[in-house]
Amino acid sequence: MSTRGQFNTKSPTIKRILKEASELASNASPDFHAEPLEDDLFEWHFTIKGPPEPSPYHTGIYHGRIVLPAQYPLRPPAFRFLTPSGRFEVNREICLSISGHHEETWQPAWGIRTAMVAIRSFMDTDAKGQLGGIECSPEIRTRMAGESVSFKCAVCAKSNAQIMKEREEAAALQEAKAGKKKEESVPEELRLAYRDELAESSASWPQHPEKPDQSTKVPSSTDSASQNDQAERPAAPEAPAAPISASTSSPLPTRTLPPQPPIVVQANAGPPLAWVDACIYGVLAALLFMVIRKVF
């Protein structure tokens, strides 16, 4: 790339990006391709084939953008589709377990290749209200898949069909030299994270119970009569102090308690106070002093 010398190659982020770009170029896949732009290592463009049959995307080839954060790979990239697919909105960040909307599920060990395999696999799942996801009929998705092949990116200056043809030829050449490669699959932990994400998205949608809600049930004539009878009856006491006979119609007599004697509070109740003794001793001492004074 013509601009690699403009970046600090000692930076761990730059080293990681250059390593992934080199690995994707030297180990071509017939199903997807991704590479950074000539003037920006942090913006990539990708091209992927749709999932295989019976998926409505199986004839499609889709193009999009990847924006890497400055803290990559500690933080996940952001993905946008530029080709209409009927599964993801065009030019809007998609919400997946590998994207910037779910940093808690991202693992630095994953990379662009892992993301491409995951996106291709997750395309054939329901959107369920995810950010950037849309729902369309299989007929519309099949039509968009056929139209996507001729899509041409203004930046890449190649159509989707041309890009994937080059990748298929490169992959076939490498396979002839080194043998057939092991089929790539989505890591199990990423698949589980995406499954939990779909469960949370579906839980946020309003649920429609199979049985009608009793609070919205239209009352029948029998129910209405029963409700009227209950309205005419007096309400029963919630917590009666004693059982009340059904034959008693008069109000309960009020119980009269006998007058209680007043409670007298004795101020000096309890043990004698020390100050009383002190006063007595003081008076005796004063009398004794007066007697002695008269005598002498």
Residues with catalytic function? 95
In terms of Cβ atoms closer than 10 Å to its own Cβ (0-12, 13-18, 19+), residue 61 is buried
The sign of the torsion formed by the CA atoms of 292, 293, 294, 296 equals: positive
Residue 213's identity, in one-letter code, is D
Tokens 């308690």 — which residue?
Answer: 257
Are 51 and 124 a contacting pair, CB within 8 Å? yes
Proportion of the chain in helix, strand, coil states, percent, rounded to 5:
40, 10, 50
132 Rama sector, left if φ>0, alpha if ψ -120 to 50, beta otherwise: left
Are 85 and 62 a contacting pair, CB within 8 Å? yes
Token couple for 170:
């490169």
Q: How far apart are CA 271 and CA 278, in angstroms?
A: 15
Q: How far apart are CA 120 and CA 26, in angstroms?
A: 21
Residue 35, H or E segment: strand 32-37
Q: Is the peptide bond before 54 cis (omega within 30 degrees of 0)?
A: yes
